């Protein structure tokens, strides 16, 4: 498949996804009285993509704040921090410092370019100047990631907790402690799935999946050094089987996690339903995750 074909597929997917997200978020405020925003902070040299927002609860003392890092979804080709601002504002309202980052998207980058950006985000957070400016508690850092962001959250955790795996990427460890993570409606087991077709192939090119097969076998490198995991899916999530497969795999390796499933026959909830700030079950799911994180703050 040629480069123009990838761009056409990506453009189509972006248009469809944006229409759905705009409809979901229509009328939501970008400013809320409980949260102070710091927008468009640069963490790299590509301003359009390597930028992030920080949201802090307005009612705060001079004490450091636990940090949530959001890794957005979008099939590795779509999504911005603006799309996720409403979700992240709600997390900050609950008392966390929230880092809501952009990263470069395929086809402008191919694997592992997006992970490279996420690594820069974590190092930006760990920088003492940034940590002091935004009251980050570097001993209490948490991750939320959905869909492709859930996959990348799993992978960055594997990289940071497994020295052997980290050698593939050449990353250094950021000076912070990730206490727990929520993996939401993610796609896992990249070497075994048949779902990387169409636009997502702009990131995971066929030749990359062939030459980097071992590197993409993320689950092989998951160990008990992982922080506690809140693993979530829903009854209408087209990736729900991937979450349950990962749960079984983690259980077999005695890696601590909690498996959570939302929706029932009378309440269908689709892929990444938890982002919807107008949905009561989404709010409950997010509260469940925040309460899970709070158990590990010290």
| pLDDT value of residue 40 | 98
Strands (DSSP E) found in the chain: 35-42, 51-57, 65-71, 97-101, 136-146, 178-184, 229-234, 257-262
What is the residue range of 239's domain? 3-294
Which one, of 8, 133, 120, 90, lies nearest residue 280 by Cα? 90
For 6-22, write each residue's pLDDT tens digit.
Answer: 999 999 999 999 999 99
pLDDT over 70 at 4, yes or no: no
pTM of the model: 0.97
| pLDDT value of residue 3 | 55
Q: Are strands 257-262 and 35-42 parallel, antiparallel or unpaired?
A: unpaired
| pLDDT value of residue 47 | 86
Per the structure, the count of domains in the chain is 1
For 35-67, write each residue's pLDDT tens digit.
Answer: 999 999 999 999 889 999 999 999 999 999 999
| pLDDT value of residue 156 | 98
Q: Which residue has the tokens 């950006």?
A: 117
Q: Are strands 178-184 and 229-234 parallel, antiparallel or unpaired?
A: parallel
Which stretches within 127-222 are classed as H helix? 128-133, 148-161, 163-166, 206-211, 213-216
Give burial (CB, 10 Å; 0-12/13-18/19+) of 116: middle
We report the CATH number of the domain holding residue 86 as 3.40.50.1820
Q: C-alpha 92: how far from its chain's center?
A: 16
| pLDDT value of residue 15 | 98
Once rounded to an integer, what is the mean pLDDT over residues 171-198?
Answer: 97
Question: Please, what is the average pLDDT of the chain?
Answer: 97
- How many C-beta atoms surround the C-beta of residue 45 within 10 A? 7
pLDDT over 90 at 1, yes or no: no
């Amino acid at each position: 498949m040629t480069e123009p074909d990838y761009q056409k597929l990506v453009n189509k997917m972006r248009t469809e996804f944006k229409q759905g997200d705009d409809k979901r978020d229509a009328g939501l405020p970008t400013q809320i009285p409980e949260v102070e925003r710091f927008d468009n902070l640069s963490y790299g040299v590509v301003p359009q993509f390597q930028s992030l927002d920080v949201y802090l609860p307005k009612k705060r003392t001079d004490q450091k704040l636990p940090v949530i890092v959001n890794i957005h979804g979008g099939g590795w080709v779509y999504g911005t921090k603006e799309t996720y601002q409403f979700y992240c504002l709600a997390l900050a309202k609950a008392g966390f410092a929230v880092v809501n980052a952009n990263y470069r998207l395929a086809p402008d980058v191919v694997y592992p370019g997006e992970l490279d950006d996420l690594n820069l985000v974590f190092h930006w957070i760990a920088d003492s100047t940034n940590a002091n400016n935004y009251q980050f508690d570097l001993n209490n850092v948490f991750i939320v990631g959905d869909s492709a962001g859930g996959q990348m959250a799993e992978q960055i955790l594997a990289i940071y907790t497994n020295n052997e795996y980290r050698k593939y990427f050449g990353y250094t460890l950021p000076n912070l402690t990730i206490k727990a993570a929520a993996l939401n409606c993610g796609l896992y087991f990249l070497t075994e799935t048949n779902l990387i077709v169409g636009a997502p192939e702009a990131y995971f090119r066929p030749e990359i999946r062939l030459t980097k097969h071992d590197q993409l076998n993320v689950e092989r490198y998951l160990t008990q050094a992982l922080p506690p995991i809140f693993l979530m899916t829903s009854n209408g999530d087209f990736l729900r089987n991937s979450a349950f497969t990962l749960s079984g795999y983690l259980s077999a390796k005695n890696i601590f996690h909690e498996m959570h499933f939302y929706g029932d026959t009378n309440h269908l909830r689709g892929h990444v339903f938890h982002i919807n700030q107008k949905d009561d079950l989404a709010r409950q799911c997010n509260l469940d995750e925040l309460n899970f994180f709070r158990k590990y703050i010290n």
